[in-house]
Structure 1
Amino acid sequence: MSIRPFQAQRIHAPRDFQSIPNQPICLEIGAGKGKHACAFAAQHPTQLLYAVERTREKFMAMQKQQQLLAADNLQLVHADAIAWTVHAVQPQQLQQVFILYPNPEPHNAAQRWLNMPFFEFLLSRMAAHATLTLASNISSYIDEAEQQLIDLWKLPYQRETVAQDAARTHFEVKYLARGEVCEQLVIQKPENYRTRFDQQAALQGQKPAGTDHAP
């Protein structure tokens, strides 16, 4: 499958957009009600996680969970993840990315994450050795993503079966309770991996996250 170049310049900033400091961060796309985001923040107090959710009802539920957690290393974002990432995240700023049980888009293969032009931009925002975890209960979704990693993106990865006692998201709990097999791809960006956006950033003199003082 060939993928057209992503045109970041055509993406409008989300409503009420606020920029973020250029420092190392983690990102969860489609954070839902925040079960994984809150657990991650509690377990990794030295890492800053931005949890992005577009649906208002789920975002409000996540806000309630954050208030109970009272963690200052978790930032919630109510926005479309693509638009927010384009405008907020700097080259090589992401240390970890989580896309856990996304919509499988059964009728629109072009909207699956590893089939999207945006995926190349997202890779450019990942630091060297950063990881992206993609989880699903649909084996054909993981099969297709794995093939894209081999044929198109040419990235190293591990394919893993999710443990039966895992409980990162509400979807994961439900699927495992039904006896379904959940799988994940843990993808790593190699040291010398370059996207077209990495090349553009180098030409423009943009520095990786952490090399400047935060504004």
Structure 2
Amino acid sequence: MTEHIELTHRQQRAFQPNKLSAPRSFCIPPIIQQTANPAPLLLEIGAGKGKHALSFAAEHPDQHLIAIERTRNKFDAFAKLAERQALPNLDAIHADAIAWIVHAIEPNSIAKIFILYPNPEQHNPNQQWLNMPFFEFLLSRLQVGGEIILATNIESYMDNAEQQATKVWCLPNERYKVPQDSQRTHFEVKYLARGEICWELCMRKPAGYNTRFDQWQANLSTHKS
């Protein structure tokens, strides 16, 4: 299985992390540099106004969530709430997720990644997460046995994600319908209230999984907070 995974990856256009500069005002949260009994580290990409991040961190004090949002007005709303709640196990990050992850996250260090209701990019499918070369880099940051949780209300997006997870990325995965009473994000609340079906795909990184970025790491020593 390992050989099959490696060959499949090498058929994809390679992501080039060395060409990405660190985001403006970049710094690394202290949790990433802790070595003594650190809490499991999780990522949320596209946190919006922080509804899921804030509730998850409050409900899971034994896990540390780094939640990244690029859009300024959404992040400002998130940051205000995060400051008010002052959860010690939550870092709210205003940055482009791809550049930030490249420069901040070490290989094999993330226990779980949430990508909840991303832009469906219906007119530019190459920008859908599982269609991007960056997805291989993201997998290199995930621990063996770690999970990526993807949610969307667009069935065609989920159909493609499920196919890519299975055929291209060779990830064990399970697809679910999101329960009607789920309220993880503002989008999820809105879609379910309209009677839409929301879908979730849980992907797991198996033992023996190899990427071209398992040893690649940015020079973190120049970006200490």
TM-score with structure 1 setting the length: 0.90
Provide the residue aligned with 1:6 in structure 2: 15
Code of the aligned partner of 1:85:
I
**2-side partners of 1:177 and 1:8: how far apart?**
40
- After TM superposition, the structure 1 = structure 2 runs for residues 16-165 of structure 1, keeping only pairs within 5 Å, are 16-20=25-29, 21-22=32-33, 24-165=40-181
Provide the residue aligned with 1:183 in structure 2: 199
Cα deviation code 1:75-101 (max 9, x no counterpart): 010000000000000001111100000
**1-side partners of 2:122 and 2:134: how far apart?**
19
SS of the residue 2:206 aligns to: coil
CA offset at residue 19 of structure 1?
2.4
The answer to whether the 8 A contact 1:101-1:171 is kept is yes
Cα deviation code 1:122-148 (max 9, x no counterpart): 000000111100000000000001110
TM-score with structure 2 setting the length: 0.86
Give 4+ residue runs of structure 1 displaced > 4 Å after superposition.
none
The answer to whether the 8 A contact 1:22-1:90 is kept is no
Q: Percent identity?
A: 57
Provide the residue aligned with 1:210 in structure 2: none
Code of the aligned partner of 1:100:
L
**2-side partners of 1:158 and 1:28: how far apart?**
19
**1-side partners of 2:84 and 2:184: how far apart?**
17
More off after superposition, 66-75 vs 82-91: 66-75
**2-side partners of 1:192 and 1:19: how far apart?**
29
CA offset at residue 3 of structure 1?
3.1
**2-side partners of 1:125 and 1:105: how far apart?**
24
**2-side partners of 1:100 and 1:62: how far apart?**
15
**2-side partners of 1:172 and 1:134: how far apart?**
12
The answer to whether the 8 A contact 2:151-2:200 is kept is yes
Cα deviation code 1:65-123 (max 9, x no counterpart): 21232211000100000000000000011111000000000111100000000000000
Code of the aligned partner of 2:170:
K
SS of the residue 2:25 aligns to: coil
User: Unaligned stretches of 5+ in structure 2?
Assistant: 1-7, 35-39, 218-224
